[in-house]
A and B are shown apart, each in its own frame.
Chain A
């Protein structure tokens, strides 16, 4: 294919192509020439291509139909991306265009056999009927079926499927959807009154029907007026839906999330096809499609045409065809009598005008070669006309889907044969042909009125502008919605042989709708789900109205009774990737994170933090803590300042144990229970002074506990204030027999066992950094948990590592910490407990002070738990055979069903055996009891231990 000028008409007024700017691309490997401004569709059509795709199920040839991005007929793959509409996608130099859904080629598709021989065997849902047995073969069937049907193939290579997409949040006073005459007037008017306006239009250039109907210059003037007024115009940007005021608009690689206080829908109307046998043949084209090819791209849509219409739209198209040099052999107008200037003009040109007639059948092998014209319903006879182009216009359907998603309602308009708007929700305005104002002047007036109304509702404008808007509305109301008469077409024009497609996307025929009703799917919603009508790429634009007509006919009910299906987003086909946007994965990192990386840490997610799992050898790291000293970054702990005169009482109310009697400078462990007495979190609380406490929580519980605290504070109205310092403070835990010696090198604080005892909390400078030092020991050795401003956390870490280097200090990560704490039977909330665990079952009855004078959260429930016989209890256990059970392995009694589960298990180098924690039957919660653990289909004998495995009396911790 080549030759840019061949097939092009002389220059058309307002054509979009630039004749001096030639572009080259390939279609199925063949080089094709186009012009700047061409779409893929117009360029290919100008080069003689008539078949653009193969249909979804029957693999029938499909050609250009709407040329407006409304139908599925021209879907192609562009540079590997499937599902691109050739009729709206601009041509780019070097682009690689390929057909979809046909093999081995577009012209010879072996799957066409389904159309030729498979018709009776492929009713709706045939795959579930025909391929149901034997059931075990279904995965194979499914694979074959998925290959046979579909809407293109994604590239196999992941990198080739990726492209950058953006989310762009845009607030506006007014959003106008639709860039035709009405939308442009609405946008300009609202903006001129001072509103911040965004206009989104599906087409590559705003202007709507003006572009194809000789109004390009005027359309561009309207665009310029809107731009001057400050309207942000988004071309090639279909609105996808309406979600409570949020309208996503897809534009290339950007998904605009537009939140406007007022929305104006000027979405126009969609020209409808007629239903007759052969209505999908290449060569059958909507009148709008033919006019776009001529007016915008100077492409002659055919040589010899027949026009079939139900209103003046087809007559105007016939005139445009004649102007373009097409021989119009006849115009079939379903109306009994067509008046008006267009009909007169055709008569003067001696075009045969057949009133009360329509197209009964289209014929051709591969492409259209003739049509039969006659009165509707004539199953025999009729006049046959040879032609290569059949231009049809089956009336229009207002594009109300987005308005309906915003809360609008439609009702059936008997006179015009479509569903028209009956209710428009608050904050939504409508304008143009979607409201029935199809003529240019009326569309413009309705746009101006809608724009003014939207702006006025937001407080823009003045008395004069309101007067002007009122006058505009009066003039509009004096205008008939449309002065063109319409003949409502029958569901199908004839019952002749041949497939008559109601839904081009999904290859659903009129017969399929009939079958669906026969099988009991006799409502439009059920039929939709059964036949998949309206569920294809056109989203019902082309098939909703025909399907409703067919359903009314088949069920013997009225169109109004049948109603429409629920319009759901997306209103326009969109790649899933557009919704992905740029991924946001908020990751918290401690101020020491870079050091961990330098030290070779394996980093993992721990809640929403990135943490050092280990530094390559977790066992050695744990042993270093026992033998010398280890340093771990625990900045992820939740850290709350709770202060005020009632701070002690506040904590007493939140925790089952007491804090009001905690002395300043001392620390106490606390478990937080829910109001159902279940364990929520744990941590330590250090009293800083009479009115200030420093509360730590688990890393993953920090946010929830802050919320819990503030929620209860709002309820109790105590004189307390809470500040979350989790991200503001770094914390490290220096632990091991040489920790004290290391501390002696970096602080002047007396860290002797006598001066700084276990569970003391002191403030001092460490390596010049102001710190709060907590003498606690989660890992079982003498330990100092040092908290400091995050901005100096890395300095503190470096200082401790430097000071401890010759004493053997090693960094240790999360994994060795888990082993070390397991040796002490220190629980991990969420690991060793679940949402049902209470302190009694978790062997922490000592922490529940039911005799506390202060009522506290969960007290009622905990009183009941205290008096109830426990079913299971959390205990330690050891295994002698070296097997480390899986966390979650089942604890079995001698006989019977599972009675518990392992929550933690590790091999301890220090202890030389496997240790763990498990929930076991309460009767077994005693030292020396034997338990059986079932893991990986094997059983292992273990022994219960209720005291810590390491330093059971806490002598080391306290030393």
Chain B
């Protein structure tokens, strides 16, 4: 094993989301996908108002150092870039997180790791997939739902599609990525998964929403920045 191999989930054991207990209690139907137990659907799921889906299985790679050299992209702070099916989300010029499908995580980690090794200054790529939980919140009332637990300004004129906003969510450190109109991906500490699920579910219920499975979310394959 390489010196940091213990950070990445093993392929022979099913990985589980920190929000699995909440999803199970809400009646989720689970399937194993790319080594993860994923909530694919819920009874009576509906995105006509607002829904939230557990996306903790997404791969998350933290880049430190020369982000541009490692990613090959000139990332602008506050705005994510979508390339090769992955999101490149900059916290700063020296730190970014890359979000990708679980199937692509290992190969992307290796590819970026190789780039980091060749970067002109100290750079690294660490698999932080299990360090963060992720929820996609979508629907016409997504902004209203966020307003119940975060002061981040998610109005389209401030956080347009592809906007990336690190900040406090439900009084914990997190970040929000606007994936598409009325659709946001929220990151937060994995150990807070059950707490965040409770907060979001409670707020969503009072807005007429609830949990949805990942299959209820439209594909982002065609996601494009507004000016693309």
Contacts and interface: CB of A to CB of B under 8 A. Distances in A.
22 contacts: A169-B148, A169-B151, A171-B153, A582-B199, A584-B170, A586-B170, A586-B192, A588-B192, A591-B16, A593-B194, A719-B122, A720-B122, A726-B131, A729-B7, A729-B131, A765-B1, A768-B10, A768-B13, A789-B129, A790-B130, A795-B14, A795-B16
Interface string B1-16: 1011111111011111
A776 interface: no
A255 to B, nearest CB: 11
Interface size class of A (residues with CB under 8 A): 35 or more
A588 B62 contact: no
Contact of A791 (B15, B148, B172, B189): B15
A791 B9 contact: yes
Given A723-B62, A729-B130, A790 B151 contact: no
B190 interface: yes
Given A768-B10, A789-B7, A792-B9, 9 more contacts: A588-B195, A692-B3, A721-B122, A725-B131, A728-B129, A770-B5, A770-B6, A792-B14, A795-B14
B15 A772 contact: no
A589 B191 contact: yes
B131 A728 contact: yes
A769 B122 CA distance: 30
A641 interface: yes
Contacts of A795: 13-14, 16
Interface string B167-201: 00011100000000000000001111111000100
A587 B194 contact: yes
Rank and list the top 4 A-B pairs by shortest CB-CB distance, nearest first. Answer: A728-B131, A791-B15, A588-B191, A688-B3
A167 B18 CA distance: 26
A706 to B, nearest CB: 11
B126 interface: yes
Interface string B77-107: 0000000000000000000000000000000
A609 interface: yes
A171 B158 contact: yes
A727 interface: yes
B126 to A, nearest CB: 5
A785 B13 CA distance: 20
Contacts of A609: 191
Contact of A171 (B124, B126, B155): B155
Interface residues of B, number: 54
A763 interface: yes
A257 B150 CA distance: 11
A791 B16 contact: yes
B126 A791 contact: no
Nearest to A589: B194
Contacts of A645: 122
B10 A588 contact: no
Contacts of B193: 589
Contacts of B172: 586
B9 A789 contact: yes
Contacts of A789: 6-10, 15, 129-130
B128 interface: yes
A345 interface: no
Contacts of A723: 62, 64, 124, 126, 128
B195 A589 contact: yes
Contacts of B124: 643-644, 721, 723
B1 A791 contact: no
Nearest to A588: B191
Interface in A630-646: 635, 641, 643-645
B97 to A, nearest CB: 11
Contacts of A196: 155, 157
Contacts of B8: 770, 789
A171 B143 CA distance: 11
Interface string A752-792: 00000000000111011111100000000000000111111
Given A169-B150, A688-B4, A790-B191, A769 B18 contact: no
Nearest to A771: B6
B149 interface: yes
In this complex, the member of A259, A593, A764, A789 whose beta carbon has the largest number of chain B beta carbons within 10 angstroms is: A789
B21 A591 contact: no
A599 interface: no
A772 B190 contact: no
A526 to B, nearest CB: 39
A689 interface: yes
Contacts of A788: 6
A170 B147 contact: yes
Interface of B: 1, 3-10, 12-18, 21, 36, 56, 62, 64-65, 122, 124, 126, 128-132, 144, 147-151, 153, 155, 157-158, 170-172, 189-195, 199, 202-203, 206
A590 interface: yes
Interface of A: 164, 166-171, 196, 257, 259, 582, 584-591, 593-594, 609, 635, 641, 643-645, 688-689, 692, 719-721, 723-729, 763-765, 767-772, 787-792, 794-795
A468 B6 CA distance: 67
Contact of A727 (B7, B36, B153, B189): B189
B6 A727 contact: no
Contacts of B202: 582
A788 B122 CA distance: 26
Contacts of B129: 728, 789, 791
B192 to A, nearest CB: 6
Contacts of A771: 6
Contacts of A689: 3
B38 to A, nearest CB: 12
Nearest to A767: B13
Contacts of A594: 21
Nearest to B60: A728
B12 A791 contact: no
Contact of B190 (A164, A169, A728): A728
Nearest to A609: B191
Nearest to A724: B131
Contacts of B122: 644-645, 719-721
Contacts of B195: 585-589
Nearest to A636: B191
Contacts of A719: 122
A719 B131 CA distance: 24
Nearest to A167: B148
A689 B3 CA distance: 6
A584 B170 CA distance: 7
A727 B1 contact: no
A698 to B, nearest CB: 16
A166 B144 CA distance: 12
A166 B124 CA distance: 42
B156 to A, nearest CB: 10
A582 B16 contact: no
Contacts of B189: 588, 727
B126 A641 contact: yes
Nearest to A687: B3
B18 A790 contact: yes
A584 B171 CA distance: 7
In this complex, the member of B9, B14, B36, B158 whose beta carbon has the largest number of chain A beta carbons within 10 angstroms is: B9
A794 B190 CA distance: 14
